[in-house]
Chain A
Amino acid sequence: TQLLEQSPQFLSIQEGENLTVYCNSSSVFSSLQWYRQEPGEGPVLLVTVVTGGEVKKLKRLTFQFGDARKDSSLHITAAQPGDTGLYLCAADNYGQNFVFGPGTRLSVLP
């Protein structure tokens, strides 16, 4: 069974701070996705990364896919309370299914 690990598990920061969360695996995946989930809702797709070494930016969010396509990071600059939520990474197991990490629960305090 291919597993994804995410760190940290919990993160509580002040508004305006920067943060990075990580997603790691011992397996190689065809692509990796990041989602944000708010209480009582389903996850919302933020980005898909496909190529090793790829970097994508979405406003204050920067996503990176490792060269070996086994790990990824999400960096948030100047975090805002609206960034609060559960951040999930999900790896595409070559079209068979998506494997989700346990998530990083982020709380941004005003």
Chain B
Amino acid sequence: KAGVTQTPRYLIKTRGQQVTLSCSPISGHRSVSWYQQTPGQGLQFLFEYFSETQRNKGNFPGRFSGRQFSNSRSEMNVSTLELGDSALYLCATKPDVNNEQFFGPGTRLTVL
């Protein structure tokens, strides 16, 4: 069974630009969650999607948004990038039957 894949793995953007990150879940997993990881704040929950609907949301500004497609693939978008958005963005998927999360390798975003 293929694991969680995230693309791209690395990204460099400048302030004010926008970025879209992609996550493909393990086959059969309908829940996709996004996290931001920084050295100062650790792993922080952004949002969770399930069957194309946002099910839970963390405390991030509206510049952070996401969506999920019918095949459970998910994208997150960050608009008007700020220097502080530089981070490792992780997605995690889980099966319907339990809360065991499987993480992808992450996308390393650098904002200059």
Contacts and interface: CB of A to CB of B under 8 A. Distances in A.
Interface size class on chain A is 20 to 34
Given A97-B45, A100-B43, A45 B58 contact: no
Interface residues of B, number: 22
A42 B104 contact: yes
B43 A96 contact: no
B27 interface: no
Interface string B29-40: 000010100000
B99 A48 contact: yes
Contacts of B103: 35, 42-44
B101 interface: yes
Contacts of A35: 103
A85 interface: no
A38 to B, nearest CB: 10
Interface string B76-112: 0000000000000010100000111111111000000
Given A40-B105, A42-B90, A100 B42 contact: yes
A95 B103 CA distance: 18
Nearest to A44: B103
A96 B43 CA distance: 16
A48 B99 CA distance: 9
Contacts of A31: 99
Interface of A: 1, 31, 33, 35, 40-45, 48, 88, 90, 92, 95-103
6 contacts: A33-B101, A42-B104, A45-B101, A48-B99, A97-B56, A100-B42
